[in-house]
Amino acid sequence: MLICMHSTSVRIDSTTHDELKRLAAELDTTVGNTVTLAVRALRQDRVGADLMASLRDDESDWLDAELRVMSSGLSSVLPRDAKQACVALLSLSPPSESWTPHPRSFRLFR
């Protein structure tokens, strides 16, 4: 069964084309699939670089909110639900009309 897919041409130099053909042969796949794999690897590298970047101050504050509650001495006298409420309150920033979460704000939970 022949599977047809939409395709387009990309101009690359002959050295890169030869390298793509060599990689495709090593991977036992097509040149098109090799390009797809390369694009995916590049995206993963970029995500990795983003995750390696230092946290902004607001991101660090959010992550450290529970530690502040625990070190304040309140944790020993507060019931569990109250502790969670304190952590939630400490992690909130004053909302603004234009506030949107930064994409890295949730990166620890992906």
Convert the pLDDT of each residue in 74-98 to its tens digit: 556 555 666 566 666 666 555 555 5
pLDDT of residue 103: 55
pLDDT of residue 110: 39
Looking up tokens 């939630």 gives: 88
Which residue stretches of the chain have pLDDT < 50? 106-110
pLDDT of residue 65: 77
pLDDT of residue 67: 73
Handedness of CA 23, 26, 32, 38 (dihedral sign): negative
pTM metric for this prediction: 0.49
Beta carbons of 93 and 58 less than 8 angstroms apart: yes
User: How far, in Å, CA of 23 to CA of 35, rounded?
Assistant: 10
Q: Please state the φ and ψ torsions of residue 95, each to the nearest 5 degrees.
A: -70, 150
- Tokens, residue 42: 């590049």
